[in-house]
């Protein structure tokens, strides 16, 4: 194990030599973590003490309209 970043409980990233990074973020969809959040994002949140948010779009079935919400992801 080369590097470990733990931001909160159930929110961490591990970078292992010659292997794929392991990233975990509770309450964030797995495909969002896999595609958009990088190991460097975890490091930046730790060192610069910033928060990252993602915008979610919800389609309300049987009603007219769409609801948007911002969720803290890191």
Q: Is the pLDDT of residue 24 over 80?
A: yes
Of 28 and 20, more confident = 20
Tell me the whole-structure pTM to 2 decimals: 0.71
Tens digits of residue pLDDT in 27-68: 888 888 888 888 998 888 888 877 777 776 666 665 666 666
- CB contact burial 48-66 (16+ within 10 A = b; e otherwise): eeeebeeeeeeeeeeeeee
Q: Residue 45: left (phi > 0), alpha (psi -120 to 50), or beta?
A: alpha
pLDDT for residue 50: 79
The residues, any chain, with a CB within 8 Å of residue 27's CB and separated by 6 or more, are: 71
Domain count across the chain: 1
Tokens of 27: 């309450």
State the residue range of the domain holding 7. Answer: 3-72
Interval 14-32 mean pLDDT: 88
């Amino acid at each position: 194990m080369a590097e470990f970043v733990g931001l909160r409980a159930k929110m961490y990233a591990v970078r292992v030599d010659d292997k794929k990074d392991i990233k975990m973020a509770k309450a964030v969809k797995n495909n969002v973590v896999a595609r958009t959040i990088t190991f460097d994002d975890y490091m930046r949140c730790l060192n610069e003490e910033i928060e990252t948010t993602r915008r979610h779009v919800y389609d309300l079935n049987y009603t007219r309209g769409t609801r948007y919400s911002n969720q803290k992801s890191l």
